[in-house]
Amino acid sequence: MTQTLTIALAQTTQSVGDLSGNADAMLEWRAKAQDADLIVFPELQLIGYPPEDLVLKPALIERAGDELLRLAKATGDGGPAMLVGTVIANRGVLFNCVALLDEGEIKTVRQKRELPNYGTFDEKRLFAPGPMPDPIDFRGVKIGVPICEDVWYPFVCAHLKQKGAEILITPNGSPYEIDKDERRIAHVCAARVQETGLPIAYLNRVGGQDELAFDGASFVMNGDGVLVHQVPDWREELRITHWEREDDTWHCVPGDIAPLCPYPEDVYSAMIVGLRDYVNRNRFPGVVLGLSGGIDSALSAAVAVDALGADRVWCVMMPSRFTSQDSLDDAAGCAKMLGVRLDTIAIEPAMDAFDTMLADVFTGRGSDITEENIQSRIRGVTLMALSNKFGHMLLTTGNKSEMSVGYATIYGDMAGGYSVLKDAYKTTVFDLSRWRNENKPAIGLGKAGPVMPERVITKPPTAELREDQKDEDSLPPYEVLDPILHGLVENELSVDTLVARGFEHETVARIERLLYIAEYKRRQAPPGVKLGSRNFGRDRRYPITNAFRTS
Instruction: Return the amino acid letter for 394.
Output: L
In order, the DSSP letters of 152-167 are SSHHHHHHHHHTT--E
462, 475 contact by CB (below 8 A):
no
Which residues make Cβ contacts (< 8 Å) with residue 48, sequence separation at least 6?
14, 15, 16, 17, 18, 22, 209
In order, the DSSP letters of 117-165 are -STT--GGGT-PPPPPPPPEEETTEEEE---GGGGSSHHHHHHHHHTT-
Numbers of helices and strands, H then E, in the chain: 17, 20
Instruction: Return the amino acid letter for 119.
Output: G
Query: Within 10 Å of residue 72's Cβ, how many Cβ atoms?
Result: 21
Q: CA-CA distance, 327 to 334, in Å (whole number)?
A: 10
Q: CA-CA distance, 171 to 98, in Å (whole number)?
A: 8
- Residue whose C-alpha is closest to residue 278's, from 544, 12, 13: 13
Q: CA-CA distance, 466 to 446, in Å (whole number)?
A: 34
Q: Which helix (H) or strand (E) holds 535?
A: none
What distance separates the 2 farthest-apart alpha carbons in the chain? 92
- The catalytic residue positions are 43, 112, 148
417, 392 contact by CB (below 8 A):
no
